[in-house]
Amino acid sequence: MNDDIAIMTEGLSRDFKTVRALDNLSLEIPRGIVFGFLGPNGAGKTTTIRLLLGLLEPSQGRAQVLGLDTRTQAQSIREQTGALLEHTGLYERLTVEDNLDFYGRVYHMDAAHRRARIQELLEHLGLWDRRKEPLAGWSRGMKQKAAVARALLHSPRLLFLDEPTAGLDPVAAAALREDLARLAETERVTVFLTTHNLTDAERLCRQVAIIRAGKLLAQGSPEELRKRSGGERVEVFGSGFTAELVARLKSHPEVREAELVNEHLLVTVQPGAQFSGITALLVGAGAAVEDIRRGKTSLEDAFLDLVEDKD
Amino acid sequence: MIQDVLTIVRKEFMEILHQRGSRRAGWLNIVIVVGLLGIYMPITSGRTWVTNPIGLVSFAWLPLFLVMGIVADGFAGERERHTLETLLASRLSDSAILAGKITAAVLYAWGIAMVSTLIGGIVANFGSDKAPGFVFYPASWLAIMASFSLLLAILVATLGTLVSLRAGTVRQAYQQLSIGFMVLWFGFFIGVQLLPDTTKLWLSSRLETLNLVVVGIGVFAALVIADLALIAAARLRFQRAKLILD
């Protein structure tokens, strides 16, 4: 495998009894990027992470992580990766310092390096002053920060992060996004991120993949996916927008979708469409158009288009 | 491997000590057990505690009861508190995790039993029967007690680990273990009671003529074989995929 590829899967599938949780997933993720793995609940994201960490064996296909086979070299993979999974995985009877000290020992960090790294991470995340408190009394956001610190502790080459900003306040979430972007850019750490927060993914990920019911629907940069989803969102403000008018708009060749939202029209037009014809249709039908705002399709729109297309 | 096992043992001890909310409460718990079994009982019994084998026989069984609570928490507790998957996603090998969990439970239970025994041997001299001189357990008794309780602790810890590997909660693991031991314990006595009188008499006469050294060696050999078999079974049953999906 090319050294510039962090993760490669070929026809990776996993069955649980009669249910196919992951179906023929083929991915190639370059090193040193933040990769967003997006999908609705039960899409197969967690199963994919478990397969890539060698915690589960694939039913079919194969995967390589950092050039190592997930079936035969799982322990070597786990040595070089850090993971924040579905749960924080912290020992809540213990303090954050004890938790990090334990995982530092697990990764054979020497005492001086371990202490320095724990202090560096806890200070950076604003948890240093509370390092002696048991985690049981902490808020969800603080525990999430502590879990991020644990995943980063041994400076892994590849990070698996399952919903890392869940429970974080907006300031902490923004700080984490910055940290992850910096890690990828300056230290060539690859970040495999699953999230429901598509704004996060759009801001942070150089590449994203969308899966649903175990099947890969699309992969590319957020920009490519937005373009692929096609269309442009246009909001029309004014009055006289009736259900009949919305129905006429929907049948217009340049309109992909139209709906009435809070007394204004939300129209998705075909790529490259000229809106003048649509405006003429609206005015001709007796509507009073006061303002037209054109906007780019967001990753969320692209995601919803892809996911709903398959329904 | 040894470094990894010690890392797990250290973490397990910290968790055991913090079971009651703080490290101080954890130590207090241990001090109460040692105080009751290693100081109060020997001091009230006086020198007979060390000159009569009953004291050592009772300490030999102590790890059985101490180890159950610890070992039930081993994997079922990690699963219940959602820490198991993160532990399994670390670089630790299957053997290191398993050996660390079993070693921690054995050291905790056997350690308390041995400390209580040794302290008891000393404080028994300060009991009500203030005879001159210092007496202590005969070395051979002490060695037999130490080995027997160690083998018993390993047996219960490994058996408990097998149960804990599949139990969904700590309570479920503890209940399964407790019921299992109760069935074995009471089943033995009830079974003996149900034997015909002629069989009981025959057994009794056989027991009187048995060579105790041979019986002792047989018991030790059986315990060693059972320990090794259970460790091998636990090793086979420890499968990351099953632990995550169970």
pLDDT digits (tens, 9 = 90+) for A261-300: 777 888 887 766 777 788 888 888 888 888 887 766 677 7
CB pair distance less than 8 Å for B241 and A55: yes
Residue B147 CB-half CA count within 13 A: 13
Measure A16 CA to nearest chain B CA, in Å.
10
| Radius of gyration for the alpha carbons in chain A, expressed in angstroms and rounded | 23
pLDDT band, very low/low/confident/very high, at A229 (cuts 50, 70, 90): low
| Phi and psi, residue A188, nearest 5° | 55, 30
CB nearest to A93's CB, from B7, B19, B244:
B19
Contact present, B125 and B134 (Cβ < 8 Å): yes
A170: closest CA of chain B, how far (Å): 26
Name which of A93, A150, A154 to mutate to probe chain B: the one with the most chain B Cβ atoms within 10 A of its Cβ. A93
Contact of A58 with A13, CB cutoff 8 Å: yes
State whether residue B82 sits within 8 Å of chain A by CB: yes
Poorest-pLDDT segment among A71-75, A221-225, B95-99: A221-225
Q: What is the reported pLDDT for B102?
A: 94
Give yes or no for a contact between A63 and A50, defined as CB atoms under 8 angstroms apart.
no
Segment A252-257 long-range contacts (CB within 8 Å, at least 24 positions apart)? A252/A277, A252/A278, A252/A281, A254/A278, A256/A230, A256/A231, A257/A231
A228/chain B closest Cα distance in angstroms? 36
Name the residue facing A93 among B18, B90, B241 (closest C-beta).
Answer: B18
Tens digit of pLDDT for each residue in A148-201? 899 999 999 999 999 888 777 888 888 888 888 888 888 888 999 998 777 788
A185 CA: distance to closest CA in chain B (Å) = 25
Q: Is the pLDDT of residue A1 over 60?
A: no
Average pLDDT, chain A: 86
Contact A89 B7 (CB under 8 A): no
pLDDT digits (tens, 9 = 90+) for B115-168: 988 998 888 888 766 677 788 888 888 888 888 889 989 999 999 999 988 888
Q: What is the pLDDT of residues B23-76, one digit of tens each?
A: 888 899 889 988 988 888 888 888 888 887 777 777 777 777 888 888 888 888
Give the three-class secondary structure for A2: coil
B28: which 2 tokens? 């207090």
How far does the CA of residue A30 sit from the closest CA of chain B (Å)? Answer: 22
Radius of gyration of chain B (CA): 20
Tracing tokens 């000590």 back to the chain, one arrives at: B17
pLDDT at A311: 53
Q: Within 10 A of B220 (CB to CB), how many other CB atoms are there?
A: 14
Q: How far apart are CA B127 and CA B135, in angstroms?
A: 12
Complete DSSP assignment for B189-232: HHHHHHS-HHHHHHHHHHHHHS-HHHHHHHHHHHHHHHHHHHHH
Kindly give, in sequence order, each residue whose CB lies less than 8 Å from that of residue A29, ignoring residues fewer than 6 positions away: A5, A6, A7, A8, A35, A190, A192, A207
Which residues numbered 1-60 in B keep a CB inside 8 Å of some CB on A? Answer: 3-4, 7, 10-11, 14-15, 18-19, 21-22
Structure tokens at A283: 């005015």
Q: Could B15 and A91 be called an inter-chain contact, meaning their C-beta atoms sit closer than 8 Å? A: yes
Which CATH number applies to A5-220? 3.40.50.300
Check CB contact under 8 Å for B91 and A75: yes
Residues of chain B positioned with their CB less than 8 A from the CB of A91: 11, 14-15, 81, 83
DSSP β-bridge partners for residue A266: A235, A259
Q: What is the pLDDT of residues A188-215, one digit of tens each?
A: 889 999 987 777 888 888 899 988 888 8
DSSP string, B90-147: SS--HHHHHHHHHHHHHHHHHHHHHHHHHHHHHHGGGSSS--SS-----HHHHHHHHH
Q: What is the 3-state secondary structure (H, E, C) of A58-79?
A: CCEEEEEECCEECCCCHHHHHH
Six-digit token string for A311: 């329904």
Q: What are phi and psi of A290, to 5 degrees?
A: -105, -35
The whole-angstrom separation of Cα A207 and Cα A198 is 12
Give residue A90's pLDDT: 95
Higher-confidence residue: A225 or B225?
B225
Point out the residue among A54, A90, A108 whose CB comes nearest to the CB of B83: A90
Q: What is the pLDDT of residue A2?
A: 64
Closest by Cβ to A57, choosing from B15, B18, B241: B241
Q: What's A19's DSSP letter? A: E
Q: Which residues in B lie closer than 8 A to residue A88 (C-beta atoms)?
A: 82, 86
pLDDT band at A310 (very low <50, low <70, confident <90, very high): low
Lowest-pLDDT choice from A138-147, A262-271, A301-310, B86-95: A301-310
Say if CB A197 and CB A119 are below 8 A apart: no
Q: Is A149 on the interface with B (CB under 8 A)?
A: no
A108/B242: higher pLDDT: A108
pLDDT single digits (tens) B69-114:
888 888 888 998 999 999 999 999 999 999 999 999 999 999 998 9
DSSP state of A128: G
Instruction: For residues A96-122, give the mean pLDDT.
Output: 94
Residue A106 at interface with chain B, using a CB cutoff of 8 Å: yes
Please judge whether B87 and A98 are an interchain contact, meaning their C-beta atoms are less than 8 angstroms apart: no
- Identify the bridge partners of residue A210 per DSSP, sorted by sequence position: A38, A218
| pLDDT confidence of residue B207 | 77
- Residue B140 forms contact with A (CB below 8 Å): no
Run of H or E residues at B153: helix B139-166
The two beta strands, A34-38 and A190-195, are: parallel
- Cα A275–chain centre separation: 33
Give yes or no for a contact between A292 and A275, defined as CB atoms under 8 angstroms apart.
yes
Confidence of residue A254 (pLDDT cuts 50, 70, 90): confident
Pick the residue of A17, A53, A55 with the most B CBs within 10 A to test the interface with B by mutation.
A55
Tell me the domain boundaries of chain A: 5-220, 229-309
CA angle B166, B72, B226 (to 5 degrees): 80
Closest CA to A134 of B29, B108, B25: B25
| Fold designation for A229-309 | Alpha-Beta Plaits (3.30.70)
Instruction: Identify which of A70, A57, A10, A36 has the alpha carbon closest to the alpha carbon of residue A184.
Output: A36
Q: Report whether pLDDT(A309) > 70.
A: no
| Nearest chain B Cα distance for residue A44, angstroms | 14
| CA distance to A284, B119, B120, B150, per residue, from B36 (Å) | 95, 11, 10, 21
Q: In terms of residue numbers, what domain contains B68?
A: 2-245
First-to-last alpha carbon distance for chain A, in angstroms, is: 36
pLDDT band at B216 (very low <50, low <70, confident <90, very high): confident
Contacts of B22 in chain A (CB under 8 A): 134
Q: Average pLDDT in the B7-20 region?
A: 89
Q: How many structural domains compose chain B? A: 1
Alpha helices in chain A (DSSP H): 45-52, 74-80, 96-106, 111-124, 140-152, 170-187, 198-204, 222-229, 243-250, 276-284, 299-309
Chain A nearest-CA residue for B9: A102
Q: For this complex, say whether ipTM is above 0.95.
A: no
pLDDT one-digit tens code per residue, A16-67: 888 888 999 999 999 989 999 988 888 889 999 999 999 999 999 999 999 9
